[in-house]
């Protein structure tokens, strides 16, 4: 079983390097890291400053397109109404079935195929073999 050891004990505190030059070096490194992060964040903000404006413009355009689609859908529905199609058909020569003249004709029975087209007839045999296990 392992025992928990705190990261710093009195023994390790006495061996830490607490000189001014060490702390100055760390401070300079941390300051450089902070400045690099600051420059990165400012650069990202500068590159993306117009994203919100473009998003608002796209949302406005989407709303316009949705309303245009809805109005066009209503136009199509009115143009495809059954009454309108019926009126167009009658205007272009369609007649009702009940009013149209009917012509009848006898349908001849099908002719049997020619003998040359029939498959050759040969006597068929069936063999059954049973094997018991």
Question: pLDDT tens digit string along 18-53?
Answer: 788 888 989 999 999 999 999 999 999 999 989 999
pLDDT of 31: 96
pTM of the model: 0.40
Tell me: pLDDT of 102 over 90.
no
Tell me: pLDDT of 128 over 70.
yes
SS (H, E, C) the chain: CCCCCCCCCHHHHHHCCCCHHHHHHHHHHHHHHHHHHHHHHHHHHHHCCCHHHHHHHHHHHHHHHHHHHHHHHHHHHHHCCHHHHHHHHHHCCCCCCCCCCCCCCCCCCCCCCCHHHCCCCCCCCCCCCCCCC
Tell me: pLDDT of 1 over 60.
no
pLDDT band of 9, cuts 50, 70, 90: low
Across 114-119, average pLDDT: 70
Across 54-60, average pLDDT: 95
């Amino acid at each position: 079983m392992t025992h928990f050891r705190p990261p710093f004990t009195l023994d390790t505190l006495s061996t830490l390097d607490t000189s001014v030059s060490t702390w100055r070096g760390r401070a300079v490194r941390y300051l450089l890291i902070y400045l690099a992060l600051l420059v990165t964040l400012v650069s990202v903000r500068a590159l993306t400053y117009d994203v919100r404006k473009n998003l608002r413009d796209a949302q406005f355009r989407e709303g316009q397109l949705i309303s245009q689609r809805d109005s066009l859908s209503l136009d199509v529905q009115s143009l495809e109404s059954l009454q309108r199609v019926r009126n167009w058909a009658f205007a272009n020569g369609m007649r009702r079935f009940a009013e149209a003249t009917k012509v009848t004709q006898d349908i001849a029975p099908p002719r049997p195929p020619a003998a040359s087209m029939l498959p050759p007839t040969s006597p068929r045999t069936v063999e059954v073999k049973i094997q018991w296990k």
